[in-house]
Structure 1
Amino acid sequence: MDYSQERITTLHDLTDPLPDAPVADSAVVVPIAGESIAAVTPEHVFESLETVGPGEIVVPLRAPAEVAEGFREWVADYAVDVTTLWCDAPALETRLERHGIGGQRGKGRDVWLGLGVAADRADYVVVHDADARTYSPAVVKRLLAPLAMEYDFVKGYYARVEDGRLYGRLVRLFIAPLLRTLEDRHDAGIVRYLSAFRYPLAGEFAFSADVARRLRAQRAWGLEIGLLGETFDAVGTDRSAQADLGVHRHDHKPVGGRGGLSGMADQVGQALFRAIEDGGIDPEYGTLPDAYRDAASRLVSQYAADAAFNGLEYDRSAEREQVEEYVSGVRPPGPDTRLPAWDETDLSSRVVLDAGRVEHSLPSDSRTD
């Protein structure tokens, strides 16, 4: 049974815990994106949230207008207080542009918008994805419980084993070997901090509302690793924790093509190296790709042994091919397009909510700050 600690406090699933947590004082942000009603209506998630009973649920929704309206009508049947923020509302984009923060849309921007609303309405903020087929009421409580102790930031971690195979490919084959390589080269707090998280790309995390308002955010797929760079500065090692959320299963992305893991690796890599450089490190980018390949090769051998030990299917060749797909992400970060901390912008959550109404017929020029 695993009860080892990392550099940050690690809270294990030793007894299938459902700990006491400040649920009533929390807002849960559930980012959802989809092109159809079926894609944006995860019944099992909202049924579970009904049993949890948080103070509020904020759903940043990226979807066509008719889908957004259908979601608003669908979610009204649940016995929970849900605020729907339509992230594709034309009035919202106009408002963000007026405040100098228009631009690229994506999961990171959606979550950032939801954080601003949630942090103004509750003492604690939980964020979790809506695509996990294994979602349970324990998720919110396990993320919130440490915030009632001495911690200001909590990250979830979990096992990614499904259909007799190891998943979590972007963490296993990209982030893990990159961080090993950086640890070998740099004795730095930011590297030690990032390496302490067992699943740094998990979309499940929680903060105090004060911390949530102090974090910059990547606009798209680099959100999770970018937030770890922010929490390192905001709360540090002693006030960060990670909580075991059990086994996690959700839909799997292809490696290539639009929306595939290779494209995600580029964005995640940009966020990682932005955090590393913010932490005072100047990586030697010219030699880093080959060092990454070597570290990934060693890990592939370790994963193969672990898979064989557990009777799981494992394709070394396919894993090594994925490593080559991800090498393009090992490069200096481009222009910094992060969204500002809510405490450092003159945008208010009230204005965001007004502009992001699903009732999208109201002209944007009739809205005022």
Structure 2
Amino acid sequence: MEYVQERVTTLHDLGDAAPTAPVDRAAVVVPMTEREYAGLAADRVLSSLERVAPARVVVPLRAPAERAGAFADWLAEYDLPLTVVWCDGPRVDALLDEHDLDGTRGKGRDVWLALGAALVDDGDVEFVVFHDADTKTYDASYVHRLLFPLARGHSFSKGYYARVEDRRLYGRLFRLFYAPLVRALDEEHDAAVIDYFDSFRYALAGEFAATRDLAARLRMQRSWGLEVGTLGDAFAHAGFEGSAQVDLGAYEHDHRAVSGPTGLSDMSRGVGRALLSTVEEHGVTPDYGGLPDRYRETANRFVRAYATDAAFNGFDYPTEEERSQVDRYAEAVVPPTEDDRLPAWSDAPITPRDVRERSREDLREVRE
């Protein structure tokens, strides 16, 4: 058991940590798509939140009209102070179109809409916590753990955990793409933003929390890359001193294939774009001619290290399969395209109340 500190404050579970935290002043955002409807993982998350009793739970829902009403009715069965934001509702779409905020749809867009609803100024929310809904090992302590450093003066906290299941190492996009790409950049550039990215033990975790003030400054990536883009804004507004990472213990959720429209290869392009655009924004100019090869070399060093670690624990380790993934991910190491992030709510041309009210009208219509 270790308790080494990183450049950001690192909180370790050294034996059933059970910190107290101001959950009654927090909103919890849990994005869902139609595949989560009545699912066991989503039920576990929502049932656990009933015991936590936060000030508000906001579910951004991505679902077609024929499913949205039934989904909202199912969510209403839980004893929660619930706000459902139907992200595909016609009035919400029209609102975004009116203000030139339409565009690519994805998890980041959904979370941005929910964040707006969480920030409606009812005076009861000082912190916002974000969780994925496909977590098979979700625990009610997550909210307390993520909020704890915020109650002690930090502005941003990020969860970390070991992705180990069935005697295999998972977390492939982080292990084989994000971490070696950051390391390759670090070997060529002396930049604080790269050191910041390298400080987080699981930078692609969907579990994080922020103060109300910082949450209002987050510019969300529309799809994949949400977690990395959020780290970039946390670096800009909280920095090393205002950031923390928190041990969430065991963690299991659904695994994705490498190929396909929602596979890890597709995700790597969004993650790579968010990462590289952020380092450029902070004054780093990568050599894109040589960076893919430096990434491959670094990632293959990681593969060798993980193979040794797996063997040490008696785990199976698909070395050639992971090397093949490195080659696929290298295709994402390219100059970032234009920035299409959504604006921070602190300068958005619409208000959080606009989103909440339009969504309520859309849902009322499909539930009648």
Secondary structure, in 3 states, of the residue corresponding to 1:157? strand
* Residue equivalent to 2:85: 85
Specify every segment of 5 or more residues in structure 2 that has no aligned partner in the other structure, as ranges.
none
Separation in 1, partners of 2:15, 2:331: 42
Aligned pairs for 1:193-232 (under 5 A) are: 193-232=196-235
Separation in 2, partners of 1:35, 1:317: 32
1:303 matched to 2:318 = no
* Residue equivalent to 1:185: 188
Aligned pairs for 1:140-151 (under 5 A) are: 140-151=143-154
Deviation at 1:188, TM superposition (A): 0.4
Specify every segment of 5 or more residues in structure 1 that has no aligned partner in the other structure, as ranges.
364-369
Separation in 1, partners of 2:39, 2:350: 30
Query: CA-atom RMSD, angstroms?
Result: 1.5
* Residue equivalent to 2:349: 346
Residues 29 and 115, structure 2, Cα contact 8 Å, conserved in 1: yes
* Residue equivalent to 2:127: 124
Deviation at 1:69, TM superposition (A): 1.1
1:250-284 alpha-carbon deviations (Å, 9 max, x no partner):
11000011211001101110000011101110000
1:235 matched to 2:232 = no
Separation in 1, partners of 2:191, 2:357: 43
1:56 matched to 2:59 = no
Q: TM-score, normalised by structure 2?
A: 0.96
Aligned pairs for 1:17-36 (under 5 A) are: 17-35=17-35
Which of 253, 256, 264 aligns to 2:256? It is 253
Residues 126 and 206, structure 1, Cα contact 8 Å, conserved in 2: yes
1:76 matched to 2:76 = yes
The code of the aligned residue for 2:286 comes to P
Cα 1:35/1:4, change in 2 over 3 Å: closer
Which of 310, 323, 327 aligns to 2:326? It is 323
* Residue equivalent to 1:367: none
Separation in 2, partners of 1:53, 1:107: 25
Secondary structure, in 3 states, of the residue corresponding to 1:342? coil
1:305-344 alpha-carbon deviations (Å, 9 max, x no partner):
0000111110110000000010111011001100001011
* Residue equivalent to 1:115: 115
Separation in 2, partners of 1:112, 1:230: 14
Separation in 1, partners of 2:308, 2:302: 10
The code of the aligned residue for 1:313 comes to D
Secondary structure, in 3 states, of the residue corresponding to 1:42? helix
1:190-215 alpha-carbon deviations (Å, 9 max, x no partner):
00000000001000000000100011
Separation in 2, partners of 1:313, 1:2: 25
Secondary structure, in 3 states, of the residue corresponding to 1:356? helix
Secondary structure, in 3 states, of the residue corresponding to 2:161? strand
Separation in 2, partners of 1:70, 1:274: 40
* Residue equivalent to 1:366: none
Separation in 1, partners of 2:21, 2:201: 23
Residues 89 and 357, structure 1, Cα contact 8 Å, conserved in 2: no
Residues 65 and 358, structure 1, Cα contact 8 Å, conserved in 2: no
Secondary structure, in 3 states, of the residue corresponding to 1:256? coil
Cα 1:4/1:36, change in 2 over 3 Å: closer
Residues 268 and 332, structure 2, Cα contact 8 Å, conserved in 1: yes
Which of 267, 272, 289 aligns to 1:269? It is 272
Deviation at 1:179, TM superposition (A): 0.8
Deviation at 1:41, TM superposition (A): 7.7
Deviation at 1:66, TM superposition (A): 2.9
Secondary structure, in 3 states, of the residue corresponding to 1:241? strand
* Residue equivalent to 1:15: 15
* Residue equivalent to 2:3: 3
Q: TM-score, normalised by structure 1?
A: 0.96
Deviation at 1:358, TM superposition (A): 6.7
The code of the aligned residue for 1:2 comes to E
Cα 1:36/1:251, change in 2 over 3 Å: closer
Separation in 2, partners of 1:139, 1:174: 26
Deviation at 1:163, TM superposition (A): 1.2
* Residue equivalent to 1:283: 286
Secondary structure, in 3 states, of the residue corresponding to 2:346? helix
1:91-144 alpha-carbon deviations (Å, 9 max, x no partner):
111101111211111000111111122123510000010100000101111001
Separation in 2, partners of 1:279, 1:16: 39
Separation in 1, partners of 2:40, 2:261: 20
* Residue equivalent to 1:314: 317
Question: Number of aligned pairs?
Answer: 363
* Residue equivalent to 2:96: 96
Give the percent of matched residue pairs that are identical in Structure 1 and Structure 2: 52
Deviation at 1:8, TM superposition (A): 0.3
Residues 221 and 264, structure 1, Cα contact 8 Å, conserved in 2: yes
Deviation at 1:37, TM superposition (A): 3.1
Secondary structure, in 3 states, of the residue corresponding to 1:267? helix
